[in-house]
Amino acid sequence: MHILQTQDLKKYYGAGDTQVKALDGVDLAVEQGEFVAIVGTSGSGKSTLLHMLGGLDRPTSGRVTVDGQEIFSLGEEALTIFRRRKIGFVFQAYNLVPVLSVRENIVLPIQLDGRAVDEAFVREVVATLGLEKKLQSLPSQLSGGQQQRVAIARALAAKPAILLADEPTGNLDSKTSQDVLGLMKVTGQKFGQTMVMITHNEEIAQMADRIVRIEDGRIVTR
């Protein structure tokens, strides 16, 4: 069974002469536990695709099914709730809540959902990512690599069906990039986590189980 599937996904901006086809009929399927890298140049539509996969933006047409749920059939409120339960995000800009501590950031999606935090699991994730000593720090007190590890921990802590990463190493130097990505892959394998990552960096992409290339809104290689 595919944990993530898209069918003829389209996203057009504007109309007429100035119309931009950011996504033009994307069909993609990801298996449970798979680590997929989506690569493409700037403007190829890879970020748009990730936003669609995560339900952050609505497509012009087409379907996205996550864990058996057609996500755009959900209302705004329901989609948000679905998202925080099933999808974890890691962004290039980390997107940590600056006013909350590391630990608070990690458990925030779970708490927003009103669920009990699985302390043992969170401890394990934190330990795997090497953040034990930083739990009480604020994001601003951490280095970029540390911040991204916190973001990964946050994404994993809610035990999502899939983890979506948007240029997770885009703001990091190459050494740190390798470290973070290595950690991400290890953690993903350890927890059987399905992961979809966007990058323009071929070297980084090589670490994935499978590489999907996207150009002008279409998938060119599977």
Q: Which residues bind other proteins (CB under 8 A)?
A: 51, 54, 56-57, 76-77, 80-81, 83-85, 89, 91, 95, 97-100, 104, 108-109, 111-116, 154, 158
3-state SS assignment for residue 13:
strand
- If the CB atoms of residues 105 and 205 are measured against other proteins, the closer one turns out to be 105
Q: How far apart are CA 203 and CA 34, in angstroms?
A: 18
- If the CB atoms of residues 76 and 119 are measured against other proteins, the closer one turns out to be 76
In whole angstroms, the minimum distance from the beta carbon of 9 to other proteins comes to: 15
- If the CB atoms of residues 84 and 134 are measured against other proteins, the closer one turns out to be 84
In whole angstroms, the minimum distance from the beta carbon of 1 to other proteins comes to: 24
Measured from the Cβ of residue 164, the count of other Cβ atoms closer than 10 Å reads: 26
Residue at token pair 């898209």: 6
Strands 35-39 and 210-215 turn out to be parallel
In whole angstroms, the minimum distance from the beta carbon of 222 to other proteins comes to: 26
In whole angstroms, the minimum distance from the beta carbon of 114 to other proteins comes to: 3
Measured from the Cβ of residue 11, the count of other Cβ atoms closer than 10 Å reads: 22
Query: What is the DSSP code string of 154-195?
Result: HHHHT--SEEEEESTTTTS-HHHHHHHHHHHHHHHHHHT-EE
- If the CB atoms of residues 103 and 205 are measured against other proteins, the closer one turns out to be 103
